[in-house]
Every structure is written in structure tokens, then in C-alpha cells.
Chains A and B, each alone.
Chain A
Amino acid sequence: MDSEATIKSTGSRIDEEAERGIWPKLIYVWRLLYRDKAGMLGLAMFLIVVATAVFSPLLSPYDPLKQDLMAAKQPPAWSEKGDMSHILGTDNLGRDMLSRIIYGSRVSVTVGFFGVLIACSLGMTIGLVSGYIGGRVDSFIMGGVNMILALPYLVFVVFIASILGRSLINVILIFGFTNIPIFARITRGEVLRLRESGFVESALSIGATRTRILFSHILPNLLGPLITIATFEMSGMIFYEAGLGFLGLSVPPSTPSWGNMLASGRQYLTIYPWIATFPGLAIVFTGLGMNLFGDWLRDVLDPRLRRTKR
């Protein structure tokens, strides 16, 4: 198959370009992305969500918290009883659905971004230490990491959330800390692989120090796999945040978030179905974009998969 051959050859091309510095590499990756329709679409969808979150006040037609009981439970514009004043209709308290979905993206993007930031920075540090020092330290850390990864994730997230209580900071901390093991494991695996590679050996043989090898040879090569995992983890966190909101365990009920909207829509499922439908579509849109983009990133950036794929 053509695409198989391109994936294989792009792999070595990226490495070749990498030797010439970071910019040629980035430009080359961008050109590859430009040719890949699904990856491009995924990136575009993701950027739309981020832009929506950043520019919420400019984009939303109404104040997401403003209640208008006269206009409550108005169906979307295209249905018989709907009109253009509220394109996606209103919820049970007469709040504009579109504005709430636009503002809801802020919670999702914030949780996803800061959650990944915490998990990735701490996980990477732990993985680096574990993989680079090795021996007992490594088996101790990895024992803990594998233990946490084998626990029923959702049960524990729900458990912790119910104890800590509803707030944005708590949700970010929960997802940030519970996802450290994933990043630690990936980083450690990569470090072990890189340590045995030819270029680290060459660096050692010309007398490079351990610190130098770590920072200028190992760290830059970790970027690819970590960015890929970060994409999937971020979409996972957005899902789980909505799920917690649905159970009433995420941000406070007054904050517009997709999970909170789903929770209130559930009560009116049979009579006013749009209240639960649209926030769900927003979650699907975000997840689809990030997964398409992540799949593409993995094909291009992850050297291990590049080797074993097909």
C-alpha cells in the first residue's frame, strides 16, 4: 500500500531532517500534515474548540447565566416552535444553549490543558529518573506506576472527586495527578530505548556528560511520543470531566460546563431532548478532532509504531 510506504519513509526523513535542527523538522512535519486530510481536519476541529474557549465572550450571543423564564425550554431554531433568537434553543431555566455550550468549552479546555500540563511534567520527570538511574529505584517506581495503572480508574476518580468536593481546581488536580503514571511509563520506556541507541553511545564515546546526554540527546527525542500521548490524554480528560459533571462531581452547578448541561438535560430527556443532545455533540466534536489529530501524530512521530506498523 502506498500510504504504508510513505509512513515508513517519512519516518527516516523526519530523523534526517532532525539532524539539521528543529525548524526544518517542524516545517517538514507541517508539510506532511498538510497532505493528510484526516489529520488536518482533526487539527482544525481542535483549534476551533480552543478558539471557542478563548473567545467565548465575543462569540456567545447571550450571557450563559442569564435566566429568561419567559423563553424557557424553547426548541432549536429549525424545529416548528423554535425561532432565530435562540439558535440551539434554551434550557429549562431559559438560558441560551449556544452560549452555554460556548462557555462550557472553557471548562473542558482548561481541565484538559492544565491536567495534561501537570501529568506530563511530573510524569516525565519521574519517568526520566526511573529510566536513567535504573536498578532498584527503577523497579520501585515502576512497581508503583503499574499498580496505579491497574486500578479501576473511574471508580477511584469518582471516589476522590466525591471527597474533595466540586471545584475547577480540584478537578484539574485529580486528572493531573491520576494521569502521572501514564506519562511516567511512556517516558521511561523511551529513555530505556534511547539509552541503547547509536547516537547516545557516540555521544558517550566523545566524552559527553550524563547531564548533557540527558538534556541535548534524550529530552528532545521524548517530545514526539509525549505530544502524541498528551493529545489522547487531553481528550480522555475532557471525556472524564464531562462524566464527573454528569454525576454532579465536577465544577459547581452554576458554572456552565458540558457535563453539568448533560446532567440537567437528562431530567428532561423525553420532553425537551435538545438540552441533553447539544452538549453531547460538543463533546463528540472535540473528541473526534483530538483523536483524528492524535492518530496522525502517532503515525508520523512515534518511532516504535512506525517500525512495527504494517
Chain B
Amino acid sequence: MQRYILSRLFQSFIMLVGVLFIVFFMLQLTGDPVALMVSRNASPEQVEELREELGFNRPVMVQFADFISKAVRGDFGMSLRHNQPAMELILERLPATVELASIALLFAMVVGIPLGLLGGANPGSIWDAFARGAGLIGQTIPNFWLALILIMVFAVNLGWFPSFGRETWQFMGLALPTKSVVLPAFALGLFTMGQLVRFTRSAVLEIKNEDFVRTAYSKGLADWRVYVKHILRNAAIPLISILGVQFGYLLSGSIYIETIFSWPGLGNLLAESIGNRDFALVQAIAFFTSLVVVSLNLTADIAYGMADPRIRYGEQ
């Protein structure tokens, strides 16, 4: 197990170095990063001044070394727009994104897993049709459009939920979610819900035919017991890694949803900083979300290895 964890850790470390490399050289893609950052009607003197100030007049490799040495200490430079360290801004916005992604994942799990189980248990039934429909809908409705429709129907016409912004409920020093999270979380979580339905359904269909299920039935166990104790438990192992990946997707994929609902999270900050051509902040966000996603994958992999010995021994 130790070797397995160490090799996973090493892989994650290499990945993050790769990310830093990509994030740095992406800005060089057009040849002149400073030209990207200034407004179109800036004078050549102003451009030179900024180049000097940000250190872009040095050789690229020197810039890269400087970038790396600061980045490993969490310093991605100052946001030009907010005049505040980029990392500080990110940490300020993080709680909102985590709240949104967690509730979206919760919704996806609570609806998706039981529906997949019901569909897989009774293929061809009305539940199955429902499950397959939910899977297809999750895959085919773009979340940015769904968000607009939800605002039109539930915020403007019915007035049940606020159409934008985040409100929290302060309780014992904690900022708890209020109904302002319902629409964005639904729009964000629908895709994941569809994925979970599809996955659970096909896992159940597959596991149902295994020998141990027949044994469980022949012992005289009740239907629900077989499903919960034998089938779901076996489907749960691969589900761990899917949930890890999906949580990463939700945390990093909320750009549209946060923009549409003016949700004060990381995705909104990213869209905003792109609009402001604030590339130090864009780099920092890209690295930070990669860090979060890579750590989530690492955690899921380790949990998977603990739950299923075949994985950790297969690696060696």
C-alpha cells in the first residue's frame, strides 16, 4: 500500500510541475504577453513601462525560473485589476465555489444513484425508462442554457428563488447555504446526475449476473438486501473514483453557472479576469484548480486502492 501511495504521489507531483510549465508558456503563445494585458489604445511607452515592471523584458528562461520559484511558495504575483495578490483573491472566492460544487454533487448522488439502481434492477420497466431518460437529458442539455431557462421560469415567472447572487445563513460562525444555491446547484449538477445514473445502471446490470448474487439469492435473502448489501457495495468501489473525478469537474466547471448567477466563486473570478485581461490571476486560477483536481484524483485513487486490493497489487 505504501508503495502504491508513494508512486501516486510522485505522479501527482510530476503532473503539477507539468501544469506550471503549461500555464507559464501558454502566455508566451502569442509571442508578446504584455500586448495581451494592455488595452488596445495604450501608447508604446506605456507598454514598455509595464513590460519593465512585470519583468517581461528578461530572457524567457529567467522569467520561467522566477515564475516557478515563486509559484511553489504560492506567489503568483499581483492581480493587475484588484491590486491584490492573486492567491489571496482565490482563497477569498473558494468557499462559494466549494459550497456550490458540494451541493451540486449531493443532488447528483441523491437522485442519480437510486435512479440508476432502480433502472438496473428492472431493465425495461418504467423506472428504467426514467433512468435512461435522465441519463440522456443530463448529457444533452448544456448547463449554461439550462441556467437561463431556470432563471426565466423559477426566478422571474414564479419568483420562488433569487435569480442571482449568493446569500448565506450565519449560524454558529458558519456560513450555511440558503435557497440562493438551489438553481445554480441544479443546473451545475444535472450533467453529473446523468453520469451517475448511467454508471450505476450499467454496473448493476453487470453485477446482477455474478455468482455471488446467485448465492445470496439462494441463501434466501430478500431482494432489497441483495441489492443494498451485495450489488450496491460492489458497484460502490468504482463509484468512488467516478465521484472524485466528478467533484473535480464540478469545482472547475462552474465558469458558466457562476457567471450567469453572479455567484461569487472561482469560475466567476476566472471569467471576470479574462474580461479584464488580468493574466496573472488567470494563471493562478488555472494552476489552483489543477491542484485541486489533481489532489482529488489522488485521494480517490488512494481510497480506491484501499477498498480494492487488486488495484494496488496490479500496479506493482
Whether B140 pairs with A159 at a CB distance below 8 angstroms is no
Q: A269-B151, A310-B205 are in contact. Are A154 and B253 (CB under 8 A)?
A: yes
Secondary structure at the A interface, as helix, strand, loop or mixed, is: helix
Q: Mark A1-24, 1 if CB is under 8 A from B, else 0.
A: 100100000000000000000000
Q: A155-B252, A164-B29 are in contact. Are A243 and B286 (CB under 8 A)?
A: no
Q: A147-B18, A152-B248, A163-B27 are in contact. Are A246 and B144 (CB under 8 A)?
A: yes
Q: A262-B144, A283-B142, A283-B145 are in contact. Are A155 and B255 (CB under 8 A)?
A: yes
Whether A291 pairs with B140 at a CB distance below 8 angstroms is yes
Whether A270 pairs with B136 at a CB distance below 8 angstroms is no
**Which residues from chain B contact A153 at a C-beta distance below 8 Å?**
252-253
Q: How far, in Å, is A146 (CB) from chain B's closest CB?
A: 8
B136, B148, B149, B251 pick with most chain A CB within 10 angstroms = B148
Q: Mark A263-297, 1 if CB is under 8 A from B, else 0.
A: 00110011001001100100110011001100000
B270 interface hit (Cβ, 8 Å): yes
**Which residues from chain A contact B289 at a C-beta distance below 8 Å?**
152, 155
A226 interface hit (Cβ, 8 Å): no
Whether B140 pairs with A1 at a CB distance below 8 angstroms is no
What's the Cα separation between A276 and B285 when bound, in Å?
29
Q: A162-B282, A270-B156 are in contact. Are A150 and B206 (CB under 8 A)?
A: no
Q: Which of B228-262 contact A (CB under 8 A)?
A: 248-249, 251-253, 255-256, 259-260
A160 interface hit (Cβ, 8 Å): yes
* Residues on A facing B (Cβ under 8 Å): 1, 4, 143-144, 147, 150-156, 158-160, 162-164, 235, 239, 242-243, 246-249, 262, 265-266, 269-270, 273, 276-277, 280, 283-284, 287-288, 291-292, 308-310
**Which residues from chain B contact A246 at a C-beta distance below 8 Å?**
144, 256
Whether B206 pairs with A280 at a CB distance below 8 angstroms is no
Q: How far, in Å, is B291 (CB) from chain A's closest CB?
A: 10
B30 interface hit (Cβ, 8 Å): yes
What's the Cα separation between A248 and B140 when bound, in Å?
22
Q: A280-B145, A288-B140, A310-B206 are in contact. Are A269 and B152 (CB under 8 A)?
A: yes
Whether A154 pairs with B142 at a CB distance below 8 angstroms is no
B123, B251, B255 pick with most chain A CB within 10 angstroms = B255
A-B contacts, 6 of them at CB < 8 A, read A158-B270, A159-B274, A163-B30, A247-B274, A249-B274, A287-B139
Instruction: Give which listed residue, A155, A265, A277, contacts B270 with CB less than 8 A.
Output: A155
**Which residues from chain A contact B293 at a C-beta distance below 8 Å?**
150-152
